[in-house]
Every structure is written in C-alpha cells, then in structure tokens.
Amino acid sequence: MADQKMKGGTVSIMVLIFLVLSATFHGCFAAIGQVQPPRKRNTVVNGFGSSVFLTVSGNVYPLGYYSVTVGIGNPPKPFQLDIDTGSDLTWVQCDAPCTGCSLPRDQLYKPVKNNFLACKDPICAALHSKAHQCTNPNEKCGFQVDYADHGSVLGAMLSDNFPLRLVNNSLSSPLLAFGCGYRLQSRSPHPPTTAGVLGLGKSKASISSQLSGMRITKNVVGHCLSGQGGFLFLGADFVPKSGMTWTPMLQNSFDKHYSSGPAELLFGGKPTGVKGLDVIFDSGATYTYLTSKVYQTVLNLVRKDLSGKQLQDVKDKALPICWKGAKSFKSVTEARKYFNTFALSFNGASNTHLLLPPEAYLIVTELGNVCLGILNGTEAGLGTGNVIGDISLQNKLMIYDNENQRIGWASADCTRKLR
C-alpha cells in the first residue's frame, strides 16, 4: 500500500539514472554489521539473470516516501516512482486526459495507441485475481488499485519499453506491463508527489516478476533505506552469501504481501506477552502499524519506560503521540537514550530477531518533539494486518527472495555511496 505517501505538492524531477556498476559496488556489503549465520544455505546466483540497481531518494520525515527514477518509452522519459513492496502494479500518471493528476501535462506519460494491454493477457488476469472475464479477449485491460487508507487510482494497462542498465553491463529494454492512471483519488489533503508507484510485490504483475519471467533478473527484490535515501535492486547478484537473517515467507493464497511470522514481540530483550504476530513488510507505508491490542501494549511499554524521565506529552500535528524534552531535539540520536529497543523474534528461534531500536520507531519533528512512528492499524483501517513500514526498515538491507520463498535482513549503512 502507499500509506502516508500521497503528500506534499512539490514535484522533483530527477535525471534519468543509468547506474553503471563496478566491482567496487560489492564494497557496500562490507558495511553490514550484526552478522548472524544464515539459517539455510540456498543459492540463487547460478543460472540465468543479471540484476538492476537503482539509487533511492527520500526519507521517512518530512517527506514520507522513498522513490526511484526510471525511464519509460523510446526515447525514454524519466518518472519518479514510489517504491512499494506492498503492492504489485506499477503505474504512472497518464495524459489520457487525467483527473487528479498532480504533474504538469508535459511530465505525464503519453500512451501510444497500440500499446494497450489486451484483456486476455495473463498479466491482466493476475491483476484481477477474482473471476477475471473478458467479454472480448482483445478489449483493453483496465485496472483499479485501492491503497489501504490513501485513495485509489484507476486507468488502463499498457506495455512499453523500460530501458535498464544491467549490472553485467548489458543494456536491456524489456517491454513491461504497467498502468496508465487517469483517475486519481487522494484521501489525504495533498495530491501525490511522485509520478506513480513501482509495484514490487509478489504477483505476476509486479516488475520483479515480469523481469524474472523474461529471464532478465531473478525474482529477488532488495532495498536499503536510510535518512538520506539508499538503494534498491532487482536480481540475485547482491544477495550476500553470509550475514543475512532469513525467515520463511508466508504463503497465504489470500495474502499477496511479503509477510513472515509468527513472531513474538520483545522490549528491552524481555517478553511483552505479545506472541503469534504475522507481519507484512511494506516499503509503501511510511510508518509501522500494529493492530489495536498490540499497539496498546507498545504504548503502555513506552510510557511506563518514560515515567520519571524528562519527557512530557505534547501535541504535534506530525503524529498522534509525541513528547518534548527540556530542550528541543535536533535528531532522533539526541532522543534515543530515553527509549528502549523492540524486537520481533521469529519462530521462537533466538537468533532470528528483527531489531527495532529507537530510530526504527521514532521521528523528531520540525518542532523538535519526538514522536512515536508506530500507529494504530485498526484505526487506519488495516484490519488484522501488522505492517512494518519504512521507519522500521531503515538502516537494514532487506531482501525479498521469491526464488527461495524467504525474507531476510541485515544491519547496513545504506548511505554508503557506491562509486
């Protein structure tokens, strides 16, 4: 989903980035700390496929999203897309004409007549999982995506070239299916800031699945996000051979998300009584959402831990729960000493911990207050799902390995510039 993402009114257009990778790239994984032995040794590196590597910009606060710039068309035009592991469909704002589009007209995607995807296309079927029927197999494939609590987009499916520089130095320009969105509805007060969404989910329609179907990359998605952007890759070339903590990816036919579980919640290394949590990893959500009861537990733990300390409750429009210190905070680093580390312990295996230190659940606002970046998912209408959003995915190399049905992470310095 793309929660909290449709924010701000400014649009920054970045130059099309064709990243050329050199051997020095592998240096980035030297930054991985907290090395834990991999639980299972699966190799995905053999056989076909190269990888695509993209620079990510963005932050959790104040921006609220992470994006990459990709070229579409021939000649390619750059589009800034919100990276979203919580949804499958890639779409761009469309010159169709469009209602609700936020970009100037010359920056919209202009559909080419014969590019429309036919209803009979398997990708169209994948988008309409339930009872997909075509009255005429050659009719256009329409789509509609409803994001968890931030509006919807409706449009037509097309295919066009996505010129990509692969890490083996080949140029590839596959025809990929994506959505041209011409009816955008935003429930937040702001129109979308990015040109669209890069859908990185599990279904056949996602970009990673399409590239893997064409044997260009393995169906592996990785990202590394920080306060100053980071990077994203598709393919298996950058999966570290060691140092990753892996958990099995849950395979529910009703849940197309990247999810793992059950997990137990720890606070300061101690049990909290919260067990059996299934969590969804969603780079399209800015914050982390827990179901009402778990959220209440987290709130109680944090508050209890703060009693007798110098922090006071304060109202801040950034988030529902905030505190102020004796002096205003300049960064989370200054505030972190008042807080403890949460952890999700998967499968009861003591080694499989996803650590959530204070900087993985707090922000410091423009007013210098520190706020809780864990929200009440029940209130946000997320049902029974617990969603791990960008705030908690920072400073980690996260890998969604669809080839081996596992999700892995390792602490990493995601800001390391790769030259």
Ligand X SMILES: *[C@@H]1O[C@H](CO)[C@@H](O)[C@H](O)[C@H]1NC(C)=O
Q: Which active-site residues does the annotation give?
A: 84, 282
Distance of CA 126 to the CA centre of its chain: 21
Q: What is the rounded distance in angstroms from the CA atom of residue 207 to the CA atom of residue 233?
A: 12
Q: CB 380 → ligand X: shortest distance, Å? A: 8
Q: Which stretch binds ligand X (CB under 6 A): 58-66, 93-101, 291-299, 308-316?
A: 291-299
Question: Residue 165: how many CB atoms within 10 A of its CB?
Answer: 18
Q: What is the rounded distance in angstroms from the CA atom of residue 316 to the CA atom of residue 30?
A: 39
Q: What is the rounded distance in angstroms from the CA atom of residue 110 to the CA atom of residue 304?
A: 55
Q: What is the rounded distance in angstroms from the CA atom of residue 244 to the CA atom of residue 34?
A: 9
Write the interaction track for ligand X spanning residues 21-60; mark x where CB under 6 A is met and - where it is not. ---------------------------xxx----------
The interface with ligand X within residues 186-215 (CB under 6 A) comprises 215
Burial of 132 from C-beta contacts in 10 A (0-12 / 13-18 / 19+): middle
Size of the site for ligand X (CB under 6 A): 15
Q: CB 68 → ligand X: shortest distance, Å? A: 20
Q: CB 50 → ligand X: shortest distance, Å? A: 3
User: Which C-beta is closer to ligand X: that of 299 or that of 367?
Assistant: 299
Q: Both tokens of residue 338?
A: 């008042």
User: Which C-beta is closer to ligand X: that of 126 or that of 382?
Assistant: 382
User: Which C-beta is closer to ligand X: that of 297 or that of 347?
Assistant: 297
Site membership for ligand X, residue 296 (CB under 6 A)? yes
The interface with ligand X within residues 158-177 (CB under 6 A) comprises 166, 168, 170
User: Which C-beta is closer to ligand X: that of 18 or that of 48?
Assistant: 48
Site membership for ligand X, residue 378 (CB under 6 A)? yes
User: Which C-beta is closer to ligand X: that of 29 or that of 295?
Assistant: 295
Write the interaction track for ligand X spanning residues 379-408; mark x where CB under 6 A is met and - where it is not. x-----------------------------
DSSP string, 162-188: --EEBTTS-EE--EEEEEEEEEEE-SS
Q: What is the rounded distance in angstroms from the CA atom of residue 398 to the CA atom of residue 139?
A: 39
Q: What is the rounded distance in angstroms from the CA atom of residue 107 to the CA atom of residue 93?
A: 9
The interface with ligand X within residues 100-119 (CB under 6 A) comprises none
Q: What is the rounded distance in angstroms from the CA atom of residue 199 to the CA atom of residue 127?
A: 12
Q: CB 376 → ligand X: shortest distance, Å? A: 4
Site membership for ligand X, residue 129 (CB under 6 A)? no
Q: CB 248 → ligand X: shortest distance, Å? A: 27
- Give the CA angle between residues 34, 37, 38 to the nearest 5°: 115
Question: Checking DSSP bridges between strand 171-172 and strand 406-411, what pairing results, if any?
Answer: unpaired
Site membership for ligand X, residue 99 (CB under 6 A)? no
**Residue 121: C-alpha distances to residues 61, 201, 312 (Å):** 40, 19, 57
Q: CB 298 → ligand X: shortest distance, Å? A: 9
Contact footprint for ligand X (CB under 6 A): 48-50, 166, 168, 170, 215-216, 292, 295-296, 299, 376, 378-379
